Amino acid sequence: MATESITEKYALYNGDAVEVLRQLPAESVHLAVFSPPFQSGKGNSGGLYCYSSDPRDISNSIDAKEFWEHYDHVTREIHRVMMPGRMVAVHCSDIASGNTGKDHLYDFPGDIVRQHERLGFAFTHRYFVFKDALTVRNRTMTKALAHKTLCRDSTRCSMANADQLLIFRRSGENAVPVAHPTGLTEYAGSEQMPADILRYRNWTGSQLENKFSHWIWQRYAGAFWDDIRIDRVLPYKDAKDEESERHCHPLQQDIIDRAIVLWSNPGEIVLTPFMGVGSEVYAAVRNGRIGIGVELKASFYRQALKNVEAAVAGLDIESQQQDMFGAVDMDGPDETQANGA
């Protein structure tokens, strides 16, 4: 039986995602945003990192086949609880088999696309989130990103893989449009908006003339998001334990904010089946939505509850946590580590 904390603004569950999702009414969720545990595709390895020894943990799989069998159950339940025609956003990345330059990439996003399409979702679009090569190199010490590797033998070089946000539409017709009658009113990103554009904030005239919203939309509508603030994440260090010392990487709030504003209306329900430290539910509450999150790992759940309660209280707890090189220490999944939202 899952431990739970339920209020008018959120519902958090410490338990198995499939078991909790089965308790939710069919066609009751307006938007789902999540990062699945990243699968490595190497030999019999079930994932890049096993978050726990719990047999219900999707990352605790014997091999790739078992991982996708587990993920199949989750995807089916997400399809069941989603409202027809509404969107699902899945954060993921290509996965490198190692970091020496002799390795290969596994197309994890491609397998996610095929899995969701098979179970009734239409794949509508894909965003790429830029990652700075030097930052990744300094944090992971990946040999394939070192300049000396380029000098010695560039066939052993690699790249800083972009994160990806895969967008799916649940089968059926959407009965409630996600409308933006005054356009986009807030920008979640790192660029400085020009002064002549800022004059159009809170524009009440014709939306054809709303240069403020148009400026934001031009950045959101592009396939490559190079303006995500990599260090805009939630506190996570208190969630670490002996089984997850270096593997909790909260998803950036800019990414989540964009998904929530683009594909849900105020007051609607946003679901994350792999909650981690609560980034998606926190963003849902901050943006006037109702968040539902499920997390199997107790330490992550406890931190998520703290983070979401801070959102309810109107506290800004987004942090900038850096490593010894001054580089951000959790900019999403990378060449050597798994992800936890």
Q: What is the CATH number for 162?
A: 3.40.50.150
CA–CA separation, 43 vs 286, rounded Å? 42
Q: Does any domain span residue 178?
A: no
Q: Does any domain span residue 192?
A: no
For residue 112, which of 45, 160, 165 has the smallest C-alpha distance?
A: 165
Residue range(s) defining the domain that contains residue 281: 3-173+222-312
Query: Which pLDDT score is estimated for 242?
Result: 52
Q: Does any domain span residue 126?
A: yes
> Which residue type is seen at 296?
L
Q: Does any domain span residue 217?
A: no
Q: Does any domain span residue 337?
A: no
Helical segments of the chain, H only? 17-21, 64-81, 108-118, 133-140, 147-152, 195-198, 211-220, 253-263, 279-286, 298-312
Whether the Cβ atoms of residue 201 and residue 210 lie closer than 8 Å to each other: no
Q: For 265-287, give the DSSP string.
A: -TT-EEEESS-TTTHHHHHHHHT
Q: Does any domain span residue 340?
A: no
Q: Is the pTM above the cut of 0.85?
A: yes
Structure tokens at 108: 């994890």
The per-residue pLDDT string of the chain (341 residues; one tens digit each, 9 = 90 and over) reads 579 999 999 999 999 999 999 999 999 999 999 998 865 444 434 445 556 666 666 766 677 788 888 899 999 999 999 999 999 999 999 887 766 556 678 899 999 999 999 999 999 999 999 998 888 888 778 888 889 999 999 988 888 889 999 999 999 999 999 999 999 999 999 999 999 999 999 998 999 999 999 999 999 999 999 999 988 999 875 555 555 444 456 799 999 999 999 999 999 999 999 999 999 999 999 999 999 999 999 999 999 999 999 999 999 888 644 332 233 332 333 333 334 45
Q: Does any domain span residue 187?
A: no
CA dihedral 57, 61, 64, 68 (to 10 degrees): -40
Query: Which pLDDT score is estimated for 123?
Result: 98
Q: Does any domain span residue 199?
A: no
CA 23 to chain centre: 24
Tally of structural domains, the chain:
1
Query: Which pLDDT score is estimated for 95?
Result: 83
